[in-house]
Amino acid sequence: MSFFCKWVSFLLILHLLLLNSCLISSDGFSQIPKKFLDLAKRDDFFDWMVGIRRKIHEKPELGYEEVETSKLVRTELDKMGVSYKYPIAVTGVVGYIGTGQSPFVALRADMDALSMQEMVEWEHKSKIPGKMHACGHDAHTAMLLGGAKLLKEHEEELQGTVILVFQPAEEGGGGAKKIVEAGVLENVSAIFGLHVTNQLGLGQVSSREGPLLAGSGFFEAKISGKGGHAALPQHAIDPILAASNVIVSLQHLVSREADPLDSQVITVAKFEGGGAFNVIPDSVTIGGTFRAFSAKSFTQLKKRIEQVITRQASVHMCNATVDFLEENKPFFPPTVNDKGLHQFFKNVSGDLLGTENYFEMQPLMGSEDFSFYQESMPGHFSFVGMQNEAHSPMASPHSPYFEVNEETLPYGASLHASMATRFLLLDSKTSSPNQSYKKDEL
Ligand SMILES: *[C@@H]1O[C@H](CO)[C@@H](O)[C@H](O)[C@H]1NC(C)=O
Ligand SMILES: *[C@@H]1O[C@H](CO)[C@@H](O)[C@H](O)[C@H]1NC(C)=O
Ligand SMILES: *[C@@H]1O[C@H](CO)[C@@H](O)[C@H](O)[C@H]1NC(C)=O
Ligand SMILES: *[C@@H]1O[C@H](CO)[C@@H](O)[C@H](O)[C@H]1NC(C)=O
Ligand SMILES: [Zn+2]
Ligand SMILES: [Zn+2]
């Protein structure tokens, strides 16, 4: 072997050593995301994340009941040597990696499933009848554990503390609100959250600055009349007809009262009452959801929903009571991305995936309880693609045919780890840490 060859192999070995041990000082700041992605794509790392995701998928748990999922998260954190607080917000787990000192940056995953029956036939299908991970929260939990492992392996290089938030009850339960109320995110400079999407290819991401997802609320109304024989309507007060008119009138709120350029939705998704072909029932229960992008439109909708239901019911001599279910289903504020954090996200995801794989989104009427974090600290929410060319189109979230392309797990894990690492590097350098990340005025 010539001297030259020896020198080259020495450099190669040195390079490999640096690749595994040191992220920042070897090739610099912009290489951090790609290095994390390479690490997360290693066979053993990938298989480990897939194993976690499948285990969670087989045993879906609803909001605030994530007992086994939470235990699995803690077991994995224990194995990594990551310290955590538990229980936070009933079943939530909050982990810590880094110096233990400020600045603090938080990464969030949700753990809950939906009450629906999985219709996909595969080896790791849900083993719990009537419950299913149909929104990808099993993948989100695996991705954040992946991110945690990457960060823990490079803990010495972190310029601050990463707080890992494994929250319960995103699907309507407002687990994020309870996490914020628990006070564990005090002093956090920024929080980042991801959601898988079937709208983008593998290795693609999307988001936008400002309003991204709508604020949402739920309502339920009982419309009471007087039951009787279906052939003798004159002796009854028909709540089915009253409820039908209520539903039609509710549809006029968005079409006739809202600014056409200010997107809003009212959907009645529940209609229960009666049961026989020849009996007018005593009462009918209807329920649904309403969405808007500003607090003003949201409040106005809420007020009018109540008025329309009670007054329209009384047109038909029925009585109605309206319940906005805030105890169990708190109103979600709109998800609004911080301007500075959005530029930061584009920078980091650009270095990870190439700027051509970032896609600007239109706002969606869907909602996320991530917005509760954004009410009390600057936050950024984005989507990570998982389309599979060979298997498309993929079912949308909340479909019983929903599937996750597990190839997306390394992208989520490395995005988490890079966002946190880079944020701490920037934040620890500025004298006034989060000056540039002040929450946008809506
Ligand atoms: C936030 O910072 C204040 C002041 O330094 C400190 O008293 C408080 O304990 C911190 N909260 C958390 C959750 O770390
Ligand atoms: C509606 O409420 C009023 C006042 O409580 C009551 O007198 C009336 O019987 C109720 N009507 C129906 C259809 O329940
Ligand atoms: C994004 O990258 C540009 C170009 O490197 C840099 O000037 C800017 O400060 C970065 N912004 C954030 C928020 O990271
Ligand atoms: C950083 O941001 C948090 C949350 O917005 C805030 O409470 C804190 O005062 C900020 N710190 C500085 C030094 O600006
Ligand atoms: Zn969902
Ligand atoms: Zn979701």
Residue 21 has pLDDT above 90, yes or no: no
Residue nearest to atom 5 of ligand 4 (CA): 377
pLDDT tens digit string along 381-434?
999 999 988 777 899 999 999 999 999 999 999 999 999 999 999 987 764 444
**CA-based nearest residue to 246, from 222, 263, 211:** 222
Residue 223 has pLDDT above 80, yes or no: yes
Contact 254, 266 (CB under 8 A): yes
Ligand 3 in reach of 437 Cβ (< 6 A): no
Nearest ligand to the CA atom of 425: 3
| Ligand 2 atom having least distance to the Cα of 317 | 13
Helix axes 409-429, 137-153, angle to 10 degrees: 50
Contact 88, 179 (CB under 8 A): yes
Residue nearest to atom 14 of ligand 1 (CA): 186
Residue 229 bridge partners (DSSP): 279
Nearest ligand to the CA atom of 436: 3
pLDDT of residue 391: 77
Candidate from 434, 436, 439 with most ligand 4 atoms within 8 A of CB, to mutate: 434
pLDDT of residue 13: 52
- Structural domains in the chain, CATH included, are 29-213+336-441 (3.40.630.10), 215-323 (3.30.70.360)
The rounded distance, in Å, linking the Cα atoms of 226 and 305 is 23
pLDDT of residue 393: 87
| Ligand 3 atom having least distance to the Cα of 340 | 13
Ligand 1 in reach of 78 Cβ (< 6 A): no
pLDDT of residue 23: 67
Nearest ligand to the CA atom of 342: 3
Residue 16 has pLDDT above 90, yes or no: no
- Quick one: tokens of 15? 């390079």
Residue nearest to atom 5 of ligand 3 (CA): 347
Q: What share of the chain is helix, strand, coil (3-state, %, to 5)?
A: 40, 25, 35
| Ligand 2 atom having least distance to the Cα of 224 | 14
pLDDT tens digit string along 109-157?
999 999 999 999 999 999 999 999 999 999 999 999 999 999 999 999 9
| Ligand 1 atom having least distance to the Cα of 185 | 13
140 among the known binding-site residues?
A: no
Q: Which of helix, strand or coil describes residue 84?
A: strand
Q: Where are the alpha helices (DSSP H) in 122-208?
A: 137-153, 175-181
Q: Which residues contact 91 (CB under 8 A, 6 or more apart)?
A: 64, 65, 66, 67, 69, 70, 111, 168
**CA-based nearest residue to 108, from 390, 420, 426, 328:** 420
Ligand 3 in reach of 92 Cβ (< 6 A): no
Ligand 1 in reach of 187 Cβ (< 6 A): yes
